[in-house]
Amino acid sequence: MIKGLALLAICFLFGMLCGDLLGLLLGIESNVGGVGFAMIYLLLLKEFLEKKGVWTEEFAFGIDFWNKLYIPIVLAMAASLNVKSAVSSGILALLSGIFPVVLAFGVFFVLIKTIKPQ
């Protein structure tokens, strides 16, 4: 597990470095695509290690462990940032967030009522 976590951490650090450098090159004071770079590095490194015969279950288990935690954490972080941004942006941002949710609930309600179990 430790080897997989170390591999993931190394890819993340290099990805963040590349994202920061790309931001500087574009004249933006922000990380541009750091997580994307990290994912690409991880995919390439996995393929390289598999070809060399070094890839083991220990690598896979460490990466799979964080894979199960990653999506819920990122969704929670993005949701809280989106709510903060919408509240500070005004009524139009709030309505554009509320309307699709209400519409989706309405569609599900209609689908549940019209589709009969067999």
CB 42 within 8 A of CB 63: yes
pLDDT the model gives residue 10: 85
pLDDT for res 103 = 93
pLDDT reported for residue 87: 67
Give pLDDT, residue 118. Answer: 65
> Which two three-digit tokens encode residue 97?
């967030």
Take residue 57 and report the two structure tokens written for it.
């279950």
The answer to whether the CB of 38 falls within 8 A of the CB of 97 is no
Neighbours of 107 (CB within 10 A): 10
Residues in the chain with pLDDT < 50? Answer: none
Q: Please report the pLDDT score of residue 92 as a whole number.
A: 74
Measured CA to CA, the distance from residue 102 to residue 88 in angstroms comes to 21
- Full domain range(s) for residue 29: 2-114
Q: How many domains does the chain have?
A: 1
pTM over 0.85: no
